[in-house]
Structure 1
């Protein structure tokens, strides 16, 4: 029998590496990278969209990979993509190489979530699956928290940090190989095709909500450090501290299972959307440093990680015969929204200014608070 603790730690570590280090560390390192490899704000949006685009593509392919090769092999592939992309970033000398590195690194997260969700569904009893999934999903915050001191203190700057992050990704290969299931437990007839998935009304609603929510989240996670440094004129130290607080607060997503003792999943979902909108509204209203930034970005970080965990739960519940399929749809649409949101926010930021762009994207999150992604038992 596989240890549930070993499964949880393995999944948490893999999510920390693929999301926190391979994806979201880019937002923090982007200002430093642009000093060595110059690019415009508009190009910054395109570069960030490369990561989201590859994440979107790999999320679409992940359920099939998990069904054919098993959770363990898929998780190993995710770790290898994270390591490969980060190493390419470390060697980059042009925006094209940056785009390639971000694209490869972005593939890792799209494979990791369905693989881990499948492992949880195959290994743990139903009563433990929702708490396990939301706790593992909070690994994103652990990765972000680790990235901040490494990028600030490691000799060699962002290039050395990318090499270290790649080594951590490679270390994940061993537990993924050992503790995640190597074979799927569902039969061929139980697997859901994409045609079956798009016919499910619950998944259609979930997909729309995830897409718009992903678009709204891109404002902070793609451009947060850029806005702090070039719009609010904060120094690098304050920007990094706020990014650390935002990422660290996402650990609250691990407490979603505990929160369900007092709140329904629908209430947690609505609170997470409001929490994502508040820091955007505050950023739009400021023209410099404010102590209110600290609680605001903490709310935003907790809101996003909690939201992604809630969407994961809704997705798994929508396709109980194949958890990876429902999770794949939810995260595919979340990623597709982030692709669109990154490109659009970059364009609005350049054309209309940061304030107007932030207000518009905050409105998206607030609008989604009124629309539930599907049916799920409280």
Structure 2
């Protein structure tokens, strides 16, 4: 299968499941809080539901993907995104909103491992890392599009999610037409979704701890960054409006994770991404001026996507015989870290304020520098 053709349908599906169904919540949170009277602690709990759903879904994807086929798993992800976002669009309480967020969050966990499997089966080996990281960069496209739509629709978050639902249905149809229909009925593959060797497990410990830390130290940014901007009185409204778009556009740089990891090495790529990720939170926690805030958005957008791309490559390098696990495990652990990060972040923000919370999580992210991938 042509890798570019796969990217053309895979990237927008990730844009829908990650950018729309998962991370858009933080963008519209100021309007949701006003409309449904949600406090920071409740906002953190609701955000954690998305990451919890992701954890559940990615385990299910790795367990049953070989049984039902990668194509069916991808289509199921698109359906979950459409249903979840349609529920969000009509939610009139925190409970209904939570249900929609949870169902939409399932789509992210269901979409990532299948694409890794499709790439392994249908894309030439020399193009796999690049294809994986570019599809992963769909998060940035979804983030940028979300920011643009909110600018035009202002506080009409219901219409925003309704449009997201319609777009997700279109992308679902495109994937239905393009993704090859394959099904592995081998019982060996079905029962060994989590099979690893002892050597692989030993090598995976740094990846496991790093993914948990980076997940915990990034969730707060997706959830609370724009809400924090609304509290910065001297910040121009124009910057607040384009903040999410800047994150998305900067995230496109993350698509070069595969390229840079080959040129400068996986270790250097990892360290750069972690340093920039922590810097993005420090800038937002310490400064309220235009330049630091803009640099924070650029730093976070590029480093988050770059970091996830590096973790994908790191995982696939460790689990050479199980590419789905190599991709799925880092994402599962990132999401598990984000469950706790969102919950704790909301509690800390309620007690100490957003600024202190952003500085705290920046420091947590730098702990991940002690865990390094081997070349």
Per-residue deviation, residues 228-275 of structure 1 (Å, max 9, x unmatched):
112566465422212211121000011223324531111111101111
Give, in whole Å, the separation in 1 of the partners of 2:93 and 2:245: 28
Corresponding position of 2:280: 279
TM-score of the superposed pair, with normalisation by structure 1: 0.93
Corresponding position of 1:359: 359
Per-residue deviation, residues 280-311 of structure 1 (Å, max 9, x unmatched):
1112212x333222122201110000111111
2:146–2:244 CA contact under 8 A, matched in 1: no
Give, in whole Å, the separation in 1 of the partners of 2:194 and 2:315: 16
1:146/1:41 CA distance change after superposition, 3 Å: same
Give, in whole Å, the separation in 2 of the partners of 1:87 and 1:64: 28
Corresponding position of 2:123: 124
Give, in whole Å, the separation in 1 of the partners of 2:130 and 2:191: 24
Q: CA deviation at 1:213?
A: 0.5
Q: CA RMSD in A?
A: 2.0
Corresponding position of 2:252: 251
In the alignment of these two chains, the number of paired residues is 373
Corresponding position of 1:84: 83
1:270–1:370 CA contact under 8 A, matched in 2: no
Give, in whole Å, the separation in 2 of the partners of 1:177 and 1:86: 20
| Range moving further from structure 2, 82-91 or 206-215 | 206-215
Q: Does 1:22 align with 2:21?
A: yes
1:51–1:105 CA contact under 8 A, matched in 2: yes
1:271–1:369 CA contact under 8 A, matched in 2: no
Matches within 5 A, 1:101-120: 101-120=100-119
Give, in whole Å, the separation in 1 of the partners of 2:215 and 2:291: 27
Give the 3-state SS of the residue equivalent to 1:196 in structure 2. Answer: coil
Per-residue deviation, residues 54-87 of structure 1 (Å, max 9, x unmatched):
0111111111232111111100000001000100
Corresponding position of 1:8: 7
Corresponding position of 1:45: 44
| Range moving further from structure 2, 252-261 or 277-286 | 252-261
Q: Does 1:343 align with 2:343?
A: yes
1:192–1:322 CA contact under 8 A, matched in 2: no
| Range moving further from structure 2, 132-141 or 59-68 | 59-68
Q: CA deviation at 1:312?
A: 1.3
Corresponding position of 1:214: 215
Corresponding position of 1:63: 62
Corresponding position of 1:242: 243
1:292/1:309 CA distance change after superposition, 3 Å: same
Per-residue deviation, residues 194-226 of structure 1 (Å, max 9, x unmatched):
663496223333222111100001121111111
Q: Does 1:368 align with 2:368?
A: yes
1:278/1:129 CA distance change after superposition, 3 Å: same
Give, in whole Å, the separation in 1 of the partners of 2:180 and 2:203: 28
Q: CA deviation at 1:181?
A: 3.2
Corresponding position of 2:269: 268
Corresponding position of 2:296: 296
Q: Does 1:325 align with 2:325?
A: yes
